[in-house]
Structures are given as structure tokens and as C-alpha cells.
């Protein structure tokens, strides 16, 4: 008999909630600094077959009325483990999802929307979910934290604790996308999500973010082997859709989907499928590479291989660097590339280099966590031409520039 994913909570770090004062959102407190009156503790005394659920707030906080949905009631249904994820670049047709639900070995399903957003070169996966039903697929200590799901319904975001602490700004907000005009969402809760999902918002936020609504399906297989059920579902959906077994590591045999959202740059980049090929690298769909990635000459650096949408702006920035007499401030021999399809080191999160919209300059003198040696006049020129600079981040990366807005080049 397989060990099930639903387990008993072992500590309060699993789910920490940012509470509001007088109904207004406040910064999400990290685990070690959370006030005793703020976080709602999980129930660690119940077994996995129970259905515990703290009572909801008398008046659930609605931090963002423009992006709120009705609050969920208290949890009454049994929790189920997430065993398989079906993920498509487009919305899953209703007839297809119905066939999946009826497949042998499928005991529970949950429809949701998935997309990726770029945050400081790290691409995280965000789900737009129904907070009342999606919670059943999360771990016990997350599923039973009633106020967390009220916060999601009220227009806030729930995120994996480690990521939330690392990426949120000083006011407890997260910018969902590397675009300059990307939406910002307040973090309402730190909660563990299902595998392959880093953070969740409600379905109204999913619409605002431009997600492909209903493009994913969580599946629980009961006591049947996920591997056997995976084969059945793959036969139903065809070989081009991602059907992956959920666990701590990516399923190396499954097709993965990269769908960047969060603004105009994300829309211009395009969506691609890819496979994991080991060593932290991925193999994007060759058709997407052929349509979107080019090798072209630019000033100072010579030939670069980048996304077609970025090359004109990169060329314009480098031409102005030359015109301003600053060409010697960029060292071609220390250029570390643009298009490099890979994960962030020691993670399963894509780098923006995988999309060909980031580049690294003057690497030796501009390491992570340092002020760096990048000439600030060069930095300002790159910003003028639609690039964000890693030296501005909380954990600096001064070699790194990434496209964050579209600029017309004449």
C-alpha cells in the first residue's frame, strides 16, 4: 500500500497568516517574527482521516474587494492527496475533463488555472483556485487553516513560506511578473501548496492576471498506483498534454508547460512545452525555439542568442552605451549569455534565461549579494530601453538584466 501524501503537521511553521488591523492588509510576518495573536495555528493532534476545521472568522477580512469572491465555509469534506497533474497551454475542454473524471482509478479531481510569473529571474507557478475546494488537496495543516482560505477569497495570496519570505516587499506584497506594470497582490498567508504550485490566488485574480482559465486538473487516485492511472489519462488526453505524477521532484518523463503571465512582455514571449533533460537543464519545444529565439549581431557583445522581442531593445541599449563613450564599461569576454534553458540552481523553477529575455554582463565583478561593479550610467541606459537590473533587488544580482517592458525602437 502506498504511503499517502496527507500527514500530520509537525510544527507551526507550516502555515503563518498575515492578519489585518482594522480590516486593512498588513505585511506578512515571517515565521520567527509572527505575533502570537496573528498566525492561526494548525491542528497537529488529528489524524489524516479526520476532517478538523477551525471555525472561520466572524467577519472574514476582504483586503481587495475588486478581486474578492464569496468566502469559503468551514471544511467538511475529507482531504485527498494530489497524485497527478494534467496541465495544458489552453483551457481543458469540459468533455475531456469529464472523461478523465470517469477514468478507472480516478477518485477525486479539482479544476484550476496555472501560469508562471517571473520574479527576480525566478519563475514561480501560481494557481488560480476555488479556495473552498482546492484546499482539500493540500496538506492537513494548510487545508484546515480556515482564515488562510478566507484571505485568498478576499483577494490576497497564499504562498509557500520560504518563497514568501524571500520575495515579498517591505509591505508584504508580491509583484506577479517581471513586467514593470505587473500586478501586485498582498500576501495573506504562508501555506504549503500542492507539489508544482508555489502560490495561489482566487479565480477572479486569475482573470485579471490573464491566465488560461481551467487549463489544469489535479487528480487523486485513491489506492490505485498513480503510474498506472497516469498511463490511462495520457491515452485520453494525447501525448502533447502534460500528465505528471506529483512528488518532490519533477516527473522526468512528462511534458512540462511554461506559460508566462504578468504583463505585456509575458504576452510577447509566448508559451512553450519542455522536457527535463538533467543537470538542471530543460529542452524547450523546438518549434517555439525556432519561432522565438534568434542569433543576431549587436554592438559591443557581437553575436547574441536571445528572444526576438528583446534583441531590438538590447541592440538600442548597447548602441547608446557606445554613443555615450561607455563601451569599455561592458566586457564582451565576461558576457555569460542570454538564452539558456535551465532551472534556478537547486530548484525546479525556471530562470528567465529559459525564455531568452535576460542576460548577464561583467560576471566576475558582479556576483550575487554584492553591490557589484556595473557602471551606473550603463545601468540607467539599460533601464531606459526596458530592462530591469538585478542590482536593485533585495538579494542583489548586479550582473543580471532582464526585459521588463516593451519599448518601441525606431
Indicate whether 1 pLDDT > 60: no
Q: Return the C-alpha cell found at 312.
A: 531590438
Burial class (CB in 10 A: 0-12, 13-18, 19+), 156: buried
Question: Using one digit for the tens of pLDDT, what is the confidence trace for 357-404?
Answer: 999 999 999 999 999 999 999 999 999 999 999 999 988 999 999 999
Assign 156 a pLDDT band (cuts: 50, 70, 90). Answer: very high
178, 402 Cβ separation under 8 angstroms:
yes
Q: Which of these ranges, 52-56, 160-164, 325-329, 393-397, has the smallest mean pLDDT?
A: 52-56
- If you average pLDDT over residues 251-271, what whole number do you get? 84
Calculate mean pLDDT across residues 302-330: 98
- Which residues have CB under 8 Å from 211's CB, separation 6+? 113, 114, 115, 126, 128, 259, 261
Q: What is the pTM of this model?
A: 0.81
Q: Regarding predicted confidence, which is higher, 394 or 129? A: 129
Crossing angle (nearest 10°) for helices 311-323 and 376-384: 140
Q: Rounded mean pLDDT of 31-47?
A: 32
State the Cα–Cα distance between residues 47 and 51, nearest whole angstrom: 9
pLDDT tens, position by position, 163-176: 999 999 999 999 99
Mean pLDDT of 82-110: 96
Strand order across the 358-360 sheet? 358-360, 400-403, 387-389
CA-based end-to-end distance of the chain: 65
What is the predicted pLDDT for the residue at 261?
86
- Per-residue DSSP letters for 46-84? S-TT----PPPPSS---S-GGG--PPP----SPP----E
In tens, the pLDDT along 201-241 reads 999 999 999 899 999 999 999 999 999 999 999 999 998 88
Tell me the CA distances in angstroms from 178 to 122, 206, 375, 400, 405, one per residue in order: 9, 17, 23, 13, 9
Full set of structural domains in the chain with CATH: 12-258 (no CATH), 291-403 (3.30.1380.10)
Residue 10: the pLDDT is: 35
Q: What is the pLDDT of residue 58?
A: 60
SS3 content of the chain, % helix, strand, coil (to 5): 25, 25, 50
326 close to 379: Cβ distance less than 8 angstroms:
no
Q: Is pLDDT at 264 greater than 60 in this prediction?
A: yes
Q: Which three cell numbers stand for residue 14?
A: 507550516
61-100 b/e with 16+ CB inside 10 Å = b?
Answer: bbbbeebbbebbeebeeebbbbbbbbbbbebbeeebbeeb
Q: Choose between 392 and 53: higher pLDDT.
A: 392
Longest dimension (CA), the chain: 70
Does residue 7 contact residue 140 with C-beta atoms inside 8 Å? yes
Q: Which pLDDT value is given to residue 186? A: 97
Amino acid at each position: 500500500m502506498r504511503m499517502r501524501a496527507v500527514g500530520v503537521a509537525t510544527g507551526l511553521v507550516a502555515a503563518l497568516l498575515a492578519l489585518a488591523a482594522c480590516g486593512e492588509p498588513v505585511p506578512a510576518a515571517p515565521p520567527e517574527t509572527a505575533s502570537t495573536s496573528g498566525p492561526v495555528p494548525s491542528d497537529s493532534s488529528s489524524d489524516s482521516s479526520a476532517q478538523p476545521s477551525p471555525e472561520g472568522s466572524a467577519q472574514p477580512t476582504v483586503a481587495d474587494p475588486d478581486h474578492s469572491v464569496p468566502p469559503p465555509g468551514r471544511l467538511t469534506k475529507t482531504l485527498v492527496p494530489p497524485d497527478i497533474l494534467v496541465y495544458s497551454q489552453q483551457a481543458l475542454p469540459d468533455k475531456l475533463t469529464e472523461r478523465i473524471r470517469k477514468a478507472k482509478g480516478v477518485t477525486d479531481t479539482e479544476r484550476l488555472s496555472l501560469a508562471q510569473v517571473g520574479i527576480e529571474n525566478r519563475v514561480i507557478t501560481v494557481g488560480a483556485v476555488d479556495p473552498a475546494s482546492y484546499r482539500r488537496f493540500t496538506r492537513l495543516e494548510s487545508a484546515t487553516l480556515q482564515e488562510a482560505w478566507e484571505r485568498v477569497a478576499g483577494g490576497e495570496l497564499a504562498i509557500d513560506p520560504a518563497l514568501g519570505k524571500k520575495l515579498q516587499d517591505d509591505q508584504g506584497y508580491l509583484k506577479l511578473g517581471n513586467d514593470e506594470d505587473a500586478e501586485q497582490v498582498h500576501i495573506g498567508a504562508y501555506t504549503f501548496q500542492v507539489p508544482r504550485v508555489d502560490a495561489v490566488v482566487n479565480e477572479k485574480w486569475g482573470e485579471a492576471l490573464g491566465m488560461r482559465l481551467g487549463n489544469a486538473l489535479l487528480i487523486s487516485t485513491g489506492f490505485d498506483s498513480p503510474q498506472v492511472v497516469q498511463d490511462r489519462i495520457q491515452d485520453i488526453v494525447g501525448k502533447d498534454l502534460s500528465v505528471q505524477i506529483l512528488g518532490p521532484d519533477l516527473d522526468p518523463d512528462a511534458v512540462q508547460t511554461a506559460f508566462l503571465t504578468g504583463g505585456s512582455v509575458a504576452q510577447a514571449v509566448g508559451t512553450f512545452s519542455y522536457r527535463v533533460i538533467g543537470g538542471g537543464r530543460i529542452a524547450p519545444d523546438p518549434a517555439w525555439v525556432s519561432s522565438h529565439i534568434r542569433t543576431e549581431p549587436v554592438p559591443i557583445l557581437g553575436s547574441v542568442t536571445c528572444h526576438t522581442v528583446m534583441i531590438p531593445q538590447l541592440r538600442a541599449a548597447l548602441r547608446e552605451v557606445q554613443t555615450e563613450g561607455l563601451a569599455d564599461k561592458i566586457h564582451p569576454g565576461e558576457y555569460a549569455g542570454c538564452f539558456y534553458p535551465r532551472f534556478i540552481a537547486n530548484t525546479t523553477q525556471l530562470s528567465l534565461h529559459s525564455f531568452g529575455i535576460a542576460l548577464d554582463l561583467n560576471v566576475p565583478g558582479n556576483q550575487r549579494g554584492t553591490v557589484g561593479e556595473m557602471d551606473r550610467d550603463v545601468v540607467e541606459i539599460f533601464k531606459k530601453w526596458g530592462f530591469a537590473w538585478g542590482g536593485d533587488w533585495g538579494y542583489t544580482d548586479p550582473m543580471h538584466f532582464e526585459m521588463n517592458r516593451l519599448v518601441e525602437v525606431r
